[in-house]
Amino acid sequence: MSIVTPWEVEGSIDYDKLIQEFGTKRISPALRERLMKETHEKNVMLERDYFFSHRDLDLVLDDYAKGKGFFLYTGRAPSGPMHIGHLIPLVFTKWLQDRFKVNLYVQLPDEEKFLHKREYTWKGVQGYAEENIRDIAAVGFDPDRTFVFKNSEYASNVYPLLMQTAKKVTFSTAKAVFGFTNETNIGMIQYPAYQMVPTFFEKKRCLIPAAIDQDPYWRIQRDIAEGLGFHKTAAIHSKFIPPLQGVHGKMSASVADTAIWLNDGELAVRKKIMKYAFSGGRETVEEHRKLGGNPDVDVSFQWLKMLFEPDEQRLKKIEGEYRSGQMLTGELKQILVDKLNAFLATHRERREKADVEKFMYEGKLAQKMWETTYEA
Ligand code: TYM
């Protein structure tokens, strides 16, 4: 049994079943090849099936080939510091932007977090947003093609478009898709309209890279977009980076020790992986040497496989040695610790240097949004 909604991911996730339930499509080997061919570069997140599902990605590539172009949109709700799972869709988005040279909008729905849980205060969320924006800026997007905005700050610019969107979605649809009840506050009930709005920022097809938990918004968007004179949005969905404690569910911001945070120091990363990362190893060293470990349930191996060991041969070697018992759990964990610390050190350095203003400046891109807003 598993639950996957924009606010909750639990249990053992059957990704094939999710594709069926959500009505998305698996990225076929041919489509994956086409995307990598178009970009002239292989991508480990595609090759390893971490980005595994889509909506209309083929049409996005058709539009691109015909010279119509497309644009990118993604987001982050400021619920606290960011963990590795939050950064990965952004890293993939940057890859797409670098290759296709397209515009990107990054939404920070501060009001979503404020409305979602009693314990979030308005002021607290603003602080998280400020911190998160630095992490986003550190990813290295093209400043001339990227606009990062906080929902509360940008609201007056999108208000007409937001209302046009909200008018098209009934409470019964929102209830069915998001599980809202009579106890849900009415701010939250309107929120989904704002998450759809950036898909209407340009009169081109929008492509959204995110984990599959965000897909319910896109399902509604696709029902109403054409009626508003826009394209149905396209999406490319990733799996979840599993929590340290096991291969089920997702690394979660609400359970601190399930995650590696972007502000975790080297020692914290080591301690956490050594203490919490669920291991496929045996009880004793002797048993492990004799019977071997199980990389399929080992979280450190799964993280290496999903993203952190891009070298295919090295990954195969690690897998073989662990399965045969030649490599011990502590050794496997150390490989991941080194990879993570190198990744985080680079991120920290970029974060220090990041020029946030460049991305939030309401320049050319924002102007375009205004125009679409009032045309619709
Ligand atoms: P949020 O802040 O929960 O998550 C931000 C992004 O990170 C992805 N994600 C993960 N990916 C892999 N492994 C995980 N363990 C993991 N946990 C989270 C999410 O899918 C998301 O892409 N409502 C949104 C914010 C938002 C948004 C958007 C997201 C506004 N507009 C457009 C994507 C696209 C939210 O709460 O995301």
- For residue 334, which amino acid is it? Q
Q: What are residue 105's DSSP bridge partners? A: 73, 147
Tell me, what DSSP letter sits at residue 201?
A: S
Measuring CA to CA, which residue among 263, 323, 337 is closest to residue 294?
323
Return the structure tokens found at 84: 């590795």
Q: At what angle do helices 29-39 and 84-100 cross, to 10 degrees?
A: 60
- CA contacts within 13 A on the Cβ side of 58: 9
> pLDDT value at position 231?
97
Question: In the numeric block, which tokens belong to residue 297?
Answer: 């349930």
What residue type is 264 in one-letter code? D
Ramachandran assignment for 36, one of left (phi > 0), alpha (psi -120 to 50 degrees), beta (any other): alpha
Atom 27 of ligand 1, residue of closest alpha carbon: 75
Question: How is the chain split into domains, by residue range?
Answer: 3-244, 256-351
Return the pLDDT at 329.
Answer: 96
User: What is d(CA 160, CA 294) in angstroms, rounded to the nearest whole number?
Assistant: 55
What is the atom index within ligand 1 of the atom nearest the CA of 79? 2
pTM of the model: 0.95
Q: How many residues does the chain have?
A: 376
Could you tell me which residues come within 8 angstroms of residue 280 by beta carbon, excluding any fewer than 6 positions away? Answer: 293, 294, 295, 296, 297, 298, 301, 322, 329
Inter-residue contact 335 to 343 (CB < 8 Å): no
CATH superfamily of 256-351: Tyrosyl-Transfer RNA Synthetase (1.10.240.10)
- pLDDT of 364 reads 53
Segments in 143-185 forming alpha helices (H): 151-167, 171-178
**Pick from 182, 127, 170, 172: nearest CA to 150:** 127
What is the structure's pLDDT at 219?
A: 97
pLDDT on residue 185: 97
Residue position matching structure tokens 């990225």: 27
Q: Which residue's CA is the nearest one to ligand 1's atom 21?
A: 210
Burial class (CB in 10 A: 0-12, 13-18, 19+), 69: middle
What is the position in ligand 1's atom list of the atom closest to the CA of 251?
Answer: 15
Q: Report d(CA 224, CA 206) in Å as an integer.
A: 14
Task: Name the β-bridge partners of 104.
Answer: 72, 146
**Which option is the CATH number for 3-244: 1.20.200.10, 3.30.2130.10, 3.40.50.620, 3.40.50.970?**
3.40.50.620
Pairing of strands 2-5, 104-108: unpaired
Angle between helices 329-353 and 122-137 (to 10 degrees): 100
Between the CA of 211 and the centroid of ligand 1 the distance, in Å, is: 6
Q: Which residues line ligand 1 (CB under 6 A)?
A: 6, 73-77, 85-86, 88-89, 107, 109, 112, 195, 208, 210-211, 213-214, 238, 240-241, 250-251
Q: Which of the listed residues 76, 135, 240, 247 should we mutate to test ligand 1's pocket, taking the one with most ligand atoms within 8 A of CB?
A: 76
- What does each of the 376 residues of the chain score in pLDDT, given as a tens digit? 577 788 877 777 899 999 999 999 999 999 999 999 988 888 999 999 999 999 999 999 999 999 999 999 999 999 999 999 999 999 999 999 999 999 999 999 999 999 999 999 999 999 999 999 999 999 999 998 999 999 999 998 889 999 999 999 999 999 999 999 999 999 999 999 999 999 999 999 999 999 999 999 999 999 999 999 999 999 999 999 988 988 677 777 767 688 999 999 999 999 999 999 999 999 999 999 999 999 999 999 999 998 899 999 999 999 999 999 999 999 999 999 999 999 999 999 999 999 998 898 665 566 555 555 555 4
Instruction: Judge contact between 112 and 195, C-beta under 8 A.
Output: yes
